A = this chain, B = another copy of it.
Amino acid sequence: MLVIKIGGAIGTGFENLAEDLKDYKDFVLVHGGSHEMNVISEKLDTPPKFVTSVSGHVSRYTDEDTLNVLKMVYSGKVNKSIVETMRRKGINAVGLTGLDGGLLRGKRKESIRIVEGGKRKILRGDNTGKVEEVNVHLLKLLLDGGYVPVITIPIEAFDGGPLNADADRAAAAIAANLNADTLVILSNVPGLLKDPLDENSLIENIPKAQLERYMEYAQKRMKKKILGASEAIAGGVKKVILGNANQTKPLSAALAGKGTVIE
């Protein structure tokens, strides 16, 4: 079993991947949609707001309006475009959010501790959480039935309703719960770089026991990917590969070891 996480940017990059995916069976695709979310949020007069947690993670502040846009963009626009492209390639994709059949569930965060203008603050009303439960029954039902689940946020709060969640970490939870051998996280960089400005500084291999030491190299969105990788490994996934989506056959390249291989 293989779990693949991609960003939400659609176009040539996804065409490439979909072409590549034709050669694979028994996998689950998880995707984001942050870029498109920012574009549509602006158009709908709910401009994106980001907050920085005290531990340095940047995340989207998700009030009720943002949640509505999130549902439209991730599960409407991006998910259905991916499903459409996969179906055109002959892959029998079925799109799902974490709400459907309670696929991905977690606790609603009461509050988050953020840093704003150098000061620490407690922020409430942020509809976010992280995946704590995965409905493996639904995924296996679809996989055994010959369908490829294409999964995105929102997730479902234990107390009901949608929550924003990080899609990299959601993919990690899915991989762990499905007892996947491998989680491949594709993005627009070659992998974990020692210097984010130098693509030749790729870290090719990380022994899983030493993953924490490498967190210092992760900047911005890469932080969540490394966090996701460590959660997947802790959950029993044998190998996590951070690969580049912007190449021909991006999945095959990653599985052949091109990128950062954590095992």
The stretch of A17-25, A84-92, A176-184 in contact with B is A84-92
Known pairs A77-B76, A80-B154, A81-B71; A95 contacts B97 (CB<8 A): yes
Q: Which of B74, B94, B160 contacts A76 (CB 8 A)?
A: B74
Q: Does A73 contact B (CB under 8 A)?
A: yes
Known pairs A88-B160, A141-B145, A160-B88; A99 contacts B71 (CB<8 A): no
Q: Does A101 contact B (CB under 8 A)?
A: yes
Interface of A is mostly: helix
Q: Does B162 contact A84, Cβ atoms closer than 8 Å?
A: yes
Residue of B nearest to A140 (CB): B145
A19 → B minimal CB distance (Å): 15
Q: Does A145 contact B154, Cβ atoms closer than 8 Å?
A: no
Chain A residues 25-71 with CB under 8 Å of chain B are 40, 43-45, 68, 71
Residue of B nearest to A97 (CB): B80
Q: Does B142 contact A141, Cβ atoms closer than 8 Å?
A: yes
Chain A residues 72-123 with CB under 8 Å of chain B are 72-77, 79-81, 83-84, 87-88, 92-97, 99-102
Chain A residues 132-154 with CB under 8 Å of chain B are 137-138, 141-142, 145, 147, 154
User: How many residues of chain A get a CB closer than 8 Å to chain B's CBs?
Assistant: 40
Q: Does A77 contact B72, Cβ atoms closer than 8 Å?
A: yes
Residue of B nearest to A95 (CB): B100
Q: Does A72 contact B76, Cβ atoms closer than 8 Å?
A: yes
Q: Which of B75, B76, B87, B99 contacts A156 (CB 8 A)?
A: B87
The 8 closest A-B pairs by CB, nearest first: A76-B76, A72-B76, A72-B72, A88-B160, A94-B100, A71-B80, A94-B101, A141-B145
24 residue pairs bridging A and B, Cβ less than 8 Å apart: A40-B44, A43-B43, A43-B44, A44-B44, A71-B76, A71-B77, A72-B72, A72-B76, A74-B76, A75-B79, A75-B80, A76-B77, A83-B100, A84-B156, A84-B160, A84-B161, A84-B162, A87-B99, A87-B160, A88-B160, A88-B161, A92-B101, A93-B100, A141-B145
